[in-house]
Amino acid sequence: MAETVVLPGPASEDLGRSVADKLGLPLLGAEFRIFPDGESKFTLSDKVSGKNVLLVQSTHHPADQHLFQLLLASHQLSEEGAKVTAVVPYLAYARQDKQFLPGEGVTLGFVAHLMRSAGVRRVVTVDIHSAEGLALFSFPINSVSAIPSLAEYVKEQVAPRDPVVIAPDFGGSKRTEAFAALYGAPFLRLAKTRDRVSGEVTVAGSRLEVEGKDVLIIDDIISTGGTVRAAAETVMNQGAKRAIAVCVHGLFVGSAIDILEKASVKTIICTNTVPGVFSQVDVSEAIASHLRTIEE
């Protein structure tokens, strides 16, 4: 059987090492550099011909740079005879999975095409934004769920009493329902709308059974914080005791953390698909156990 090695990219050093540890696989010798003018460079220092390489690289901010590093490394690995699986814990552009306004590009489809052209044979990601996004890949892609790990962590470490689980919008319902089912808690969905031009988020008013409750707001991504803020303000205005934000990918762009604090979000919990201060939940075992099934 071909030897498998792991290459943690600069965006996912710790997570990549942790996946390698869990699978008992060696790391590959390589160097990623950024020149002062912003150009990227990739240099391999080990032979890879005939090997399977698990290239672990999230594509959070700076998204284009991290994506380009992934493409560059994959291209070189393939040129030198390796079979590349791209493990992309946070997959940038996954929200651009359809044309919302005339003239817009379906950028995720283009990203899939770039990966394929760069020699990626398979992609493994964590909680892709939508199932539709998977269909834009003409080669194998799997999305591993971090929801069981998040539910377990919240139960053990935050231990809210008698909580209500809330999806801030229709798109996140399935994910949130799965969380609520694992938790054994009631599930509610808010009717969020986003202005496609300004990006502004609003939640349509409806009466919710949240009075005196701890509310867990579950989302795949926190970016500007606008979605969770709208959900938190809605439940706090209806008498909720605490708003707790739980997400897979914590991007926290600009003043997102401030925005959430001002909206009375008491606790924020994310996974380490994107490294950061709130990335308490480790997804390396979820990724490793999925990779074991592929290997088998």
Measured from the CB of residue 55, what is the shortest distance to ligand R5P in angstroms?
A: 25
Question: Of 155, 192, 213, 241, which residue is the catalytic one?
Answer: 192
Query: Can you give the binding site for ligand R5P, defined by CB under 6 A?
Result: 95, 168-169, 171-172, 201, 219-227
Backbone angles phi and psi of 157, in degrees to 5: -100, -30
3-class DSSP state of 129: coil
Q: Is 22 a catalytic residue?
A: no
In the complex with ligand R5P, the residue whose CB is nearer, 62 or 171, is 171
In the chain, what is the straight-line distance between the N-terminal and C-terminal CA atoms, in Å? 11
**Where are the alpha helices (H) located in 24-122, listed in sequence order?**
63-79, 107-117
In the complex with ligand R5P, the residue whose CB is nearer, 192 or 213, is 192
Bridge partners (DSSP) of residue 83 are: 52
In the complex with ligand R5P, the residue whose CB is nearer, 112 or 218, is 218
Of 142, 14, 8, give the one whose Cα is nearest residue 69. Answer: 8
Measured from the CB of residue 12, what is the shortest distance to ligand R5P in angstroms?
A: 20
3-class DSSP state of 102: coil
Measured from the CB of residue 176, what is the shortest distance to ligand R5P in angstroms?
A: 10
In the complex with ligand R5P, the residue whose CB is nearer, 9 or 168, is 168
Measured from the CB of residue 221, what is the shortest distance to ligand R5P in angstroms?
A: 4
Backbone angles phi and psi of 186, in degrees to 5: -65, 150
**Residue positions annotated with a catalytic role:** 192
